[in-house]
Chains A and B, each alone.
Chain A
């Protein structure tokens, strides 16, 4: 069987296999008609508990948000989560190896952002003023902290850069990077690394468990900034560090 014949056979089989569903057309319409046009409150556009998941663009989301605010009587109050694909597959490269990972949408209505996280490896802990993405399985005590914290601050980029550099200095961390970047997000990155020490084998300098703090600062439209703080350690730079950056690529502010 050649390729064309196979394609045709698959197409025919799918049609044949789904003929019985096609018969549900009238029955399904009756349910829609009742729900939309005949139920007592069908004149209102109801807010559904379960999310509406669609692939609208960010522009459309903003349009909906504006629509929602300007005409509260009729407008749909859409949750952020409703506006993005709930789950998607992402190809990433970790330590030279390509892998597919399923990423899950996380949305924070209050801070107005969304991000996709690899929920097979990480989980989101929501806080009052920030969210933290941490490894799904808690690390043993001998490992330094591994997390990615997302905060929204009433400050300018310059103010945050100053504050972060002071904090790194207070913690005796050495500033290794400070520059404007456009990936994984547009903004300023600041990276600090912990002080070296002499290990049991007599090696002096940075060790496998030397902590690293990496901050991304990106501006919102409302004169605020998002600060994303990544914490990991030297040996985990190409693992957790790279995975955090891949997840951060999907970060989107929805103001």
Chain B
């Protein structure tokens, strides 16, 4: 999954052409290709499994309904992730207005994760949890999805220097969370 799509690779281009013609199987293949990291990304941003699933569902539905408008000369992955990030932000903004539910959902997710990880939390995991939504989104796009700072800036409608500075600060905070010194 790492690396940048400079243009649509041949298989993906074929898939999208088929989807444009209404081929459901091709759409399923596209889903298979991107769903794993899409779910991880949405979860990393929202920290909520149920939201992550809903966000990915909405994103793929939008992709399918808007595939006609997709410009085949442009790379698919940034387009896809821009929609996913926008969906995630909408969910975060909705949830910030429902603070009580967030806490109960988060608690359930925490319990779920604890069971999975057998309480093996480490400092880095806690550090990631403590980052604000924006910094976590940027770190996720860089480290989980392999986007460059320039691509992230374009995707988030931000200045590339802002992204670089947020990445730097995010990494520094994680370093400190792991017991290291800043600029160590």
Contacts and interface: CB of A to CB of B under 8 A. Distances in A.
A12 to B, nearest CB: 9
Interface stretch (A54-62, A138-146, A209-217): A54-62
Contacts of A24: 39, 49, 52-53, 56
Contact of A88 (B69, B87, B157): B157
A53 B87 contact: yes
Give the 3 A-B CB pairs with smallest separation, nearest first.
A88-B157, A21-B43, A18-B40
A29 B35 contact: yes
Contacts of A48: 65
A52 B40 CA distance: 21
Interface residues of B, number: 60
Contact of A54 (B28, B53, B82): B82
Interface of A: 1, 6-7, 9-11, 13-22, 24-25, 27-29, 31-32, 35-37, 45-46, 48, 50, 52-57, 59-60, 63-64, 67, 76, 78, 85-91, 100
B26 interface: no
Nearest to B165: A100
Contacts of B139: 10, 14
A222 B24 CA distance: 40
A54 B39 contact: no
Contact of A89 (B78, B122, B140, B157): B157
B61 A10 contact: no
B159 A52 contact: no
Contact of B71 (A22, A60, A87): A60
B157 A56 contact: no
Contact of A25 (B39, B156, B157, B175): B39
Contacts of B144: 11, 14-15, 18
Contacts of B159: 89-91
B124 A9 contact: yes
Contact of B66 (A54, A88, A100): A54
Contact of B143 (A1, A10, A59): A10
Given A17-B125, A35-B57, 20 more contacts: A1-B180, A6-B175, A13-B122, A18-B144, A28-B57, A31-B53, A31-B57, A46-B65, A48-B65, A52-B62, A52-B65, A53-B86, A54-B82, A54-B86, A55-B79, A56-B69, A64-B68, A85-B82, A88-B156, A89-B157
B112 interface: yes
B154 interface: yes
B96 interface: no
Contact of B61 (A13, A25, A35): A35
Contacts of A35: 57, 61
B113 interface: yes
12 contacts: A13-B124, A13-B128, A14-B144, A19-B40, A21-B44, A22-B40, A32-B60, A55-B155, A67-B68, A85-B82, A85-B157, A86-B90
Given A21-B49, A22-B40, A54 B89 contact: no
Contacts of B64: 36
Contacts of A52: 62, 65-66, 83
Contact of A100 (B65, B124, B162): B162
B53 A1 contact: no
A151 to B, nearest CB: 26
Interface in B3-26: 24
Interface in B25-57: 27-28, 31, 35-36, 39-44, 49, 52-53, 56-57
Contacts of A9: 124, 178
A10 B124 contact: yes
A31 B31 CA distance: 12
Contact of A55 (B27, B61, B82): B82
Contacts of B128: 10, 13-14, 17
B180 A28 contact: no
A21 B90 contact: no
Contacts of A15: 40, 144
B161 interface: yes
